[in-house]
Amino acid sequence: MKKSDPVNACFGQLPALLERDAALIQRGRFCDVDCLLGSTEQSYHVAIRAGRIIDMVPAPVLMRSWTFGYRATPDAWTAFWQPMPKAGWHDLLSLTKRGEATLEGDIKPFMTNLQYFKDLLALPRNTGGAA
């Protein structure tokens, strides 16, 4: 099993976890974006409309574009999804500051909906994460 497999499994759960969180969908109700989310080993093209994930497929997809990308190392996601993450591994921007994640592209949709993306990508924390 590759180190990234449990992380990929968590990303695979994201659409279903989001569907169970009406408050988070409400928070993202004005969010429409095609973005690239995932680990440095496997990322996903994620299409979000009105706060819902309507499509999510593993990258690369031939000639598919994205607006912004947020990718972290498999170790970073594993640490981030701990029920009580350690200091420095607990926030999307603490991961970028420590060089364990990258935020790329046109990040305006990410910043406009910052708490939405923080909460969306933390959803696996409540289900045991990747380890």
Partner 1 sequence: MSAYIEPMVGRYVHVDIDGTLHRIYFEEAGQGIPLVCLHTAGSDNRQWRYLLADEEFTKHFRIIAFDLPWHGKSNPPANWDGSEYRLTTKRYTQTIRAFCNALDLDKPVVMGCSIGGRIVLNLAIDHASEFRALIGLEAADFQAPWYDTAWLNRPDIHGGEVCAALVSGLVAPQSPAEARMETLWAYQQGGPGVFKGDLYFYRVDGDLRGRTKAIDTKLCPLYLLTGEYDFSCSPEDTVRTAAGITGADVTVMEQLGHFPMSEHPAQFRRYIAPVLETIKQKHIS
Query: Which positions lie near partner 1, rule CB under 8 A?
Result: 84-85, 87-88, 90-94, 96-98, 108, 111-112, 114-115, 118
Report the nearest approach of partner 1 to the CB of residue 40 (Å): 20
Report the nearest approach of partner 1 to the CB of residue 124 (Å): 15
Nearer to partner 1, 64 or 98 (CB): 98
Question: Helix 114-122 crosses helix 5-19 at what angle (to 10 degrees)?
Answer: 120
Report the nearest approach of partner 1 to the CB of residue 117 (Å): 9
Nearer to partner 1, 18 or 92 (CB): 92
SS3 for the chain, per residue? CCCCHHHHHHHHHHHHHHHCCHHHHHHCCCCCEEEEEEECCCEEEEEEECCEEEEEEECCCCCCCCCEEEEECHHHHHHHCCCCCCCCCCCHHHHHHCCCEEEEECCHHHHHCHHHHHHHHHHHHHHCCCC
Report the nearest approach of partner 1 to the CB of residue 18 (Å): 17
Nearer to partner 1, 94 or 102 (CB): 94
Nearer to partner 1, 58 or 88 (CB): 88
